[in-house]
Amino acid sequence: MDKKKNNSDTILYILTFLSIVTLVGSFATHLITGKPAFIPMDSLAGSILIGVIFFCYLCWLIYDSKLAKKISLNESINFNMKHNPVVFGMYIYWFVFIVIPILSLFL
């Protein structure tokens, strides 16, 4: 179990590092280059980028709970989708910052 926990922690550290590099590389390029940011933070593309990072963390949460509770992947997905408050926050984020703006483009 200790090796699996180390694998889970390693995945979390890699995901966090890649997220930070992606966010800085996308939103803070204006600090380095003096030109406009590669992706404006207040744009739909910025919201989607952050939403994708949240989704990656959700996948990690599901994997980590699968290891901790020793349950199948389907059970872990169902448990997290129904009972994890972090997932509810992600639902709200995706709905407010991604779904509604995309729908407003077509209405």
For residue 37 the two structure tokens come to 């940011």
Residue the block writes with tokens 């901790």: 68
Return the structure tokens found at 13.
């550290």
Average pLDDT over every residue of 84-106: 91
- Structurally, the chain folds into a number of domains equal to 1
For residue 34, the number of C-alpha atoms closer than 13 Å in the C-beta half-sphere is 0
Placement of tokens 């926990």 in the chain? 5
Residue 30: pLDDT over 60? yes
The whole domain housing 100 covers 2-106
Quick one: which of 18, 19, 22 has its CA closest to 39?
22
- Angstrom distance (rounded) from CA 18 to CA 57: 11
Kindly give, in sequence order, each residue whose CB lies less than 8 Å from that of residue 44, ignoring residues fewer than 6 positions away: 98, 101, 102
Tokens 């280059």, located at residue: 33
Per-residue pLDDT tens over the stretch 52-67: 999 999 999 999 998 8
pLDDT value at residue 92: 93
